[in-house]
Structure 1
Amino acid sequence: MKYVFGSYTLDVRRLQLMRDGAAVPTEPQVFALLRHLIENRDRVVSRDEIFDVIWRDRVVSDAALSSRIKAARAAIGDDGTRQEFLKTLHGRGFQFVGQAEERFDGASTSPASAQPSIAILPTMMVSPTDAQRAFGEGLEDDISAALGRVGTLYVARHSGGSDLKSLAEALGVRYVLELKLRFSGEAFRLNASLLYAERMEEVWADRFEGQLDDPFAAQDQVVSAVLGRLVPNVMMVEVQRAASETSVTDAYHELLRATPLCMRMDAKDNRQAVVHLERALIADPQHALSHAMLAWCLGQQALSEWAPDRDAAFASAMEHGQLALTLAPRDALVLTFVASAEVAAGEHVAARHHLETALDRDPSLAWAWAMLGALETYSGRLSKAIANYERALRLSPHDPMRFSYYFGIGAARYGTGDYEGALPMLEQGYIEAPGSTWAPRLIMACAAEMGNTQRMNEVAKVVRSLKPHATAEELVDSAPIRDQGYRERLAASFRKAGFK
């Protein structure tokens, strides 16, 4: 991605500012500041937000911010008096006010050649009243804005047309989203359909219903449900497309090939995913999402005890996570993958910050809600954990990571002493992800507490095959659980199952 304004070009991929084709020396924090202001040029960016994006958890003075603003203005030929590009709004913050044109890398200026891209057509309504029309147009605006905040999607709006394939080609998008809204009194029904533009093939469809008595609340509910179900389906279609395009070896295709392997919770698949992600970073060392997913995969290896050197795997995960955050500090999916690695590594404060930032950008991101559930479980806030996991399931009931939501609910219920409620959820997750190393331990713990000796012995054999000489305390210590009560409960259950 490049942003062109005046005689300047901000090249996001190469982390470079240029004027008339010549590089302009720019410090990393100044570049990050310019990028964030340009990417959010439709609004005023507060001082607090800049501190959060540029310095994260570090405490710095107002003078540091003033210095970076001054340097950013100098880099783009602006100053505090003229403010042609960068305007100060006293008491509110800063805003990029120049005209910036987005351009995409490669021979084509179309984003469709790289990231998934989608055109949203005007919502179809039959003889709506003024209030119904306002509701439908507001719903369309909210869906477009929400999709626009998803870093992995490029979104276009259009007035529509009869030939959708020609329209998609003209806009340079890969998918077309059609919305049909019907009303019956105060009730409404939205039918959403996603078409793969090249073949005009429907690849996803769903139905959403509600009441108009509180239109804003209804819009929020529908937008959340649409994004929670649409975005994972888009990614799975992209994964299938990448599998068929075997000759393409760019960073994005290698990332897509890694995606289903990362999600299977299996040691062999995880190692192959790492191979694809390393290839992605050879093709493009600045590919933020590949760094973030690699951090997640390496964190999985360490937590699941698949890595020959657990500490080295965690260290590498944190290194790639930091690179991803430097490259894309406000991308919701990047933040979530990095936070997943941080959760595994026990870096709970950083993980919470990154997950909350991700959900601020995309409140419908089911995986982020699930990882927040994991944090609450490890901290002993079990009712919050269950609520977060259940929210993830509602948002994305057919998510490829659904097994982890079942695990999470089961783990939290176990911690409350609800063993009968925990066991079916853990068993369901284990069916969907039989390579998990933690599912059999929790199933064994539940079965031990319930007096189900047969099931306890069955899964104890699996646990011992993976950890032949482990004690109860060693099994507990291998998890990033902070809550002492949970740890003691788990150790007691393991001892009941025969682990000393």
Structure 2
Amino acid sequence: MIASQGISAAASPLPRGVKRAFDAMRANVGHNWRLAELAGIAGVSARTLQRQFLTFVGKSPRAVLREIGLDCARRELLQGSPGVKIMDVALRCGFTHFGRFSIAYRRRYSETPSQTLKRQTVLTDALGAMPSLLVPARDRVVIAFGPIEAAAEHLALAADIADDLATALVRAGLAVATRSVAARYHLGGAIRGAGTQAHLTIRLVDTETGGQLWAHRIDGILHDDVATTEHLAARIAAALQSCLRLAEIDRALRKPAAGLGAQDLALRAMPGVLSLDACGNARALEMLDRAMEEDPNQPLAIALAAWAHVQRAVYHFTHAPQQERARSLELTHRARALGGDATVLAILGNALSLLREFDAADLVTRKALAIDGGSAWAWSRSGWIDVYKGVPQSAIERFKIALDLAPHDPLAFNSMVGIGCALFTAGQYAEGARWQERALAEHPSASWVHRTLCPAHVLAGQAREARRSLDGLRQHYPDLTVSEVQRGMPPLPPSQCNLVVGALQEAGLPA
């Protein structure tokens, strides 16, 4: 499983000429490729190449080149290198007209290049302010990580990156070993190329199967304006976490049922909790109850159970919401007394914020970020806390940091919902609806999204979309009433709750 963004030339079998043209465009993004040049590289006529691109890719070579350039620019801006100039990035990625670049970028990524870059400054400052907090060694995954391969002239840089990456991995709750003995995973790295073509590649391998689980590439590693190695390492560790978490869950799922410990059961339960749907929630709670019987002091199991119980109240999975809230609150007290790594604390922040314990939620979420400033889950939860406090712009910034750090994480869709709710709070109803539609497309079983999606359509004057959304809500919750929505509603500001309730009534939800 290799992390990637943008257009994929390997999504389906391609003619050899098309693949050669793809490779050429990617190898020299900034070049103003003419169709005749690409056709010469592909070994076919210009007309044939144009036809093959439209047939097999669905876009013309020029459209593909533009998207490759936008993806390249996006990657550079997300690196947040100090002193970087957007115009320089645009030129390096093949855009000579800054205005057209900005319009195309905004259309593709729903924000301007300057907004992307500004957000990286926020993340960089947060990473730089992290104190030296480490977490207990309990249940840590062991990962082997040795020196980063490099030519002689790059050895000092490779050593600096390796040292900072080892620290970032420990912050993320991993145990780092220098050899593969007893390590579940091996992380290797190499600096290849020279000058502007130099890049760093990091790969994660399962030591048991030998299979590659993940790879990450950072270009321009030798640029004068490259981010500090500490910040670079934190971003790599953040990008690694989602894949490693999935690998641990898969490992737990492969174990014989008879030999499962509390940690294994908690990992098996995690996808159900993250699904934010009724069936997954019920399955997860069965396993979490077993985990807590096996070990009453297992932090991950207790934190997940606290979140799962309050989910039942908030997402209308139960007819006894007060009992579920009470059980969740009891479990949060137990989990807080035990402490844990950034993941446990971020999960605990989820439960506490849904219980309206905002001060406690803010405290544990801040601690999670102090331990690991690259925790996408903690950034997302801090965004939700801002939504609940009625601070939409800060919330959007934090949700987008979470998406920048882990765009393929199972909870990424919930950050999209959060952006939609923040925009709703800011009165941008049509844009808020668009983000929530996007989240629902990513995660169709999260039908509770319609509670705020339908009102966003109503207030945006989109009557047909509002009816469709209300139908989606009632299909999954046929007996749902406005009163039940009010009882289960997440802790949005009172004025926003009133807008949601009024819009749902206008759309036709029974009182």
Residue 343 of structure 1 aligns with which residue? 353
2:284 corresponds to 1:273: yes
1:109-128 alignment runs, 5 A limit: 115-128=140-153
Residue 158 of structure 2 aligns with which residue? 136
* Structure-2 separation of matches of 1:216 and 1:134: 15
Indicate the percent of aligned positions where both proteins have the same amino acid.
27
| Match among 225, 243, 251 for residue 235 of structure 2 | 225
2:172–2:237 CA contact under 8 A, matched in 1 = no
| Match among 155, 169, 177 for residue 176 of structure 2 | 155
Q: Deviations over 1:248-288 (max 9, x none)?
A: 32112111210111111110110110111111112222211
* Structure-1 separation of matches of 2:498 and 2:137: 56
| Match among 329, 336, 350 for residue 325 of structure 1 | 336
Deviation at 1:215, TM superposition (A): 7.2
TM-score, normalised via structure 1 length: 0.70
* Structure-2 separation of matches of 1:246 and 1:199: 17
Query: Helix, strand or coil: the match of 1:263?
Result: helix
Q: Deviations over 1:148-185 (max 9, x none)?
A: 1223x2221x2xxxxxxxx412xx11101001123533
Question: Structure 1 stretch 343-352 or stretch 233-242: which is displaced more?
Answer: 233-242
Query: Helix, strand or coil: the match of 1:406?
Result: helix
Unaligned runs of 5+ in 2: 1-135
1:64-83 alignment runs, 5 A limit: none
* Structure-1 separation of matches of 2:137 and 2:194: 44
| Match among 284, 300, 304 for residue 315 of structure 2 | 304
2:455–2:466 CA contact under 8 A, matched in 1 = yes
Residue 423 of structure 2 aligns with which residue? 413
* Structure-2 separation of matches of 1:213 and 1:237: 33
Deviation at 1:386, TM superposition (A): 0.5
2:399 corresponds to 1:389: yes
2:387 corresponds to 1:377: yes
Query: Helix, strand or coil: the match of 2:152?
Result: coil
Q: Deviations over 1:46-75 (max 9, x none)?
A: xxxxxxxxxxxxxxxxxxxxxxxxxxxxxx
2:440–2:447 CA contact under 8 A, matched in 1 = no
Is the alpha carbon distance of 1:173 and 1:356 closer, same or farther for their aligned partners in structure 2, counting shifts above 3 Å? same
Unaligned runs of 5+ in 1: 1-101, 105-113, 159-166
* Structure-1 separation of matches of 2:293 and 2:485: 37
| Match among 265, 274, 277 for residue 254 of structure 1 | 265
- After the TM superposition, which segments of 4 or more aligned residues of structure 1 sit over 4 Å from their partners? 210-216
Is the alpha carbon distance of 1:371 and 1:427 closer, same or farther for their aligned partners in structure 2, counting shifts above 3 Å? same
Residue 241 of structure 1 aligns with which residue? 251
Question: Structure 1 stretch 373-382 or stretch 459-468: which is displaced more?
Answer: 459-468
* Structure-1 separation of matches of 2:369 and 2:198: 27
Higher helix share: 2
Q: Which amino acid aligns with 1:155?
A: V
Query: Helix, strand or coil: the match of 1:399?
Result: coil
Is the alpha carbon distance of 1:435 and 1:103 closer, same or farther for their aligned partners in structure 2, counting shifts above 3 Å? closer
| Match among 212, 224, 227 for residue 202 of structure 1 | 212
| Match among 459, 474, 490 for residue 449 of structure 1 | 459
The two structures, once aligned, show a CA RMSD in angstroms of 2.5
Q: Which amino acid aligns with 1:365?
A: S
Query: Helix, strand or coil: the match of 1:286?
Result: coil
Deviation at 1:418, TM superposition (A): 2.0
Q: Which amino acid aligns with 2:330?
A: E
Q: Deviations over 1:62-104 (max 9, x none)?
A: xxxxxxxxxxxxxxxxxxxxxxxxxxxxxxxxxxxxxxxx998
TM-score, normalised via structure 2 length: 0.68
Q: Deviations over 1:11-44 (max 9, x none)?
A: xxxxxxxxxxxxxxxxxxxxxxxxxxxxxxxxxx
* Structure-1 separation of matches of 2:430 and 2:217: 34
* Structure-2 separation of matches of 1:385 and 1:263: 21
Residue 433 of structure 2 aligns with which residue? 423
Query: Helix, strand or coil: the match of 2:419?
Result: helix
Deviation at 1:478, TM superposition (A): 2.9
* Structure-1 separation of matches of 2:470 and 2:354: 23
Deviation at 1:372, TM superposition (A): 0.7
1:406–1:429 CA contact under 8 A, matched in 2 = yes
Residue 7 of structure 2 aligns with which residue? none
* Structure-2 separation of matches of 1:223 and 1:126: 20
Deviation at 1:290, TM superposition (A): 0.8
| Match among 180, 196, 201 for residue 168 of structure 1 | 180
Residue 90 of structure 1 aligns with which residue? none
Residue 481 of structure 2 aligns with which residue? 470
* Structure-2 separation of matches of 1:437 and 1:476: 16
Deviation at 1:456, TM superposition (A): 1.3
